[in-house]
Structure 1
Amino acid sequence: MILASSHILWVLFLFIFKPVFGQLTGKQDSATLNILFKASYAFQFPSMDLAKRFGNNSNICSEGEVKFASNFTMGVKGAFIFGKQVREDSILNGIATSQGYHIDKGGELATVYNDERGFTVMATVGKIFPIFKSNANSGPFVQLGVGMLRHKIRYDWRQSNLPQLSKELLKGYDRLTYGPAIEVFAGYMYLSKNRLINFFGGVEYTMAWTRNRRGYNYDTMQYDTVLRKDALLGIRAGWILPIYRKEKKEFFYY
């Protein structure tokens, strides 16, 4: 009789409390990757028409990207281009002395420095191809971008006052150029499971079809409307800040 009563009580205990234990032991609270913020640096080598104007340059890029559960990505990116190697360095010779100096407003000799400035803006799509089952968010990564490339020669004369290079006159010398561009990136993306180490790196190629947007060059006294082909090949590496979105919790009863 006592054994039978104990058995009944044990069955009732399991019937009442097992769903509670099932919630505690069977609850899933997983997190999925949602948004990626990237910051990167690239060293780039120009080719085609761009190589006639500039040498190698640096590139700093920031990017916002959405990563889907399918490992496809969509995003936007902007990159700042800068360099010290200007190969078209004789543009100002016609308004300089035979020694390469410029006469400022006070009659003093001034030195004009030049460098490269530019940027790209791209809308991107990409795909991660995971090769290790232990981490489905990492693997070889390819990305295609469509947007614009812009570049010009930047002149700097420090503290001197040069009327011959006023804001309006400078437009005839700076070779402001821009046009549509495409960009291809191939590399590797790593997103750690503990979310602490996240990076990417690879090779990037940019091709653009550009024109001189000033239209007229003061130094050559000619109109410049020729279609240019500007290309950049670079090696890029960067850090990723991932933002995770928690999935809604699911409860399983046993």
Structure 2
Amino acid sequence: MSNHILLVLFLFIFKPIFGQLTGKQDSAALTVLFKASYAFQFPSMDLAKRFGNNSNICSEGEIKFASNFTLGVKGAFIFGKQVREDSILKGIATSQGYHIDKGGELATVYNDERGFTVMTTVGKIFPIFKSNANSGPCVQFGAGMLRHKIRYDWRQSDLPQLSKELLKGYDRLTYGPAIEVFAGYMYLSENRLINFFGGVEYTMAWTKNRRGYNYDTMQYDTVLRKDALLGIRAGWILSVYRKEKKEFFYY
């Protein structure tokens, strides 16, 4: 019995994919796509000096035209636990790395990475199977902004030396214009149930410290940075579309 259930599930999931190899010719259609994806990213250039590897969760709205060109907007949340510039608060901590809270108790301050990107995108799908003209290798180019900073957390402690205003001198808030390129594969099934994409993504940004002055170094920071991220992204797609009517001719 269990073998029969597995066989039914296998056919339900993979039959639309195998159908690309055989079957009648399909036509591309105007489609609205809603994407949700995850990427694991590796920083490089100046960003690698501040942070280690990070995770990225992205949501995207996109229009795929009948020509298989795409146009969309996307936003991604960046987060990670690896902060390489971990001595910024050393000057206001004890020799053991603790901080003194308002009540005179020792407190531990944790740090992690937070950031986001906002992009407008344009892309193209290159169908390789006649039976599914809406799927195939794809490329996408984006332009927008990259923003990141060091997030500090000290749980329930009250640290006046890290008040909301003073924290601005330590969090290294940084942002600037960015471009992005993605290359991968997109699959949109005819039954609309199995839609996914995956590939490699590269982001390049020209950023600057927007706080201007760092309290730990007691210096102004106006240097133009080059921040880059290389990631592997995979996601699920919700598609909303109306296929063109098919005409049949009888002789």
Deviation at 1:34, TM superposition (A): 1.8
Deviation at 1:195, TM superposition (A): 1.2
Deviation digits for residues 164-221 of structure 1, max 9, x if unmatched? 0000000000000000000000000000112110000000000000000000000000
Give the SS at the match of 1:23.
Answer: coil
Deviation digits for residues 109-143 of structure 1, max 9, x if unmatched? 00000000000000000000000111100000000
Contact residue 17 and residue 189 of structure 2 kept, 8 A: no
The separation in 2 between residues aligned to 1:51 and 1:22, in whole angstroms, is 44
Provide the TM-score with structure 2 as the length reference: 0.87
Judging changes above 3 Å, is the alpha-carbon distance between structure 1 residues 24 and 55 closer, same or farther for their aligned structure 2 residues?
A: closer
Judging changes above 3 Å, is the alpha-carbon distance between structure 1 residues 38 and 222 closer, same or farther for their aligned structure 2 residues?
A: same
Deviation at 1:33, TM superposition (A): 3.9
Contact residue 29 and residue 250 of structure 1 kept, 8 A: no
Give the SS at the match of 1:9.
Answer: helix
Contact residue 146 and residue 177 of structure 2 kept, 8 A: yes
Contact residue 16 and residue 189 of structure 2 kept, 8 A: no
Deviation at 1:245, TM superposition (A): 2.7
List aligned pairs for 1:134-149, cutoff 5 A: 134-149=131-146
Judging changes above 3 Å, is the alpha-carbon distance between structure 1 residues 231 and 21 closer, same or farther for their aligned structure 2 residues?
A: closer
Which 5+ residue runs of structure 2 have no aligned equivalent? none
Judging changes above 3 Å, is the alpha-carbon distance between structure 1 residues 94 and 71 closer, same or farther for their aligned structure 2 residues?
A: same
Contact residue 33 and residue 242 of structure 1 kept, 8 A: no
Judging changes above 3 Å, is the alpha-carbon distance between structure 1 residues 161 and 252 closer, same or farther for their aligned structure 2 residues?
A: same
CA RMSD of aligned residues (A): 11.7
After TM superposition, the runs of 4+ consecutive aligned structure 1 residues lying more than 4 A away are: 5-31, 246-254
The separation in 2 between residues aligned to 1:150 and 1:12, in whole angstroms, is 43
Contact residue 33 and residue 239 of structure 2 kept, 8 A: yes
Greater Cα radius of gyration, structure 1 or 2: 1
Deviation at 1:157, TM superposition (A): 0.2
Which 5+ residue runs of structure 1 have no aligned equivalent? none
Q: What's 1:11 paired with? A: 8
Deviation at 1:32, TM superposition (A): 3.3
Identity rate, percent:
93
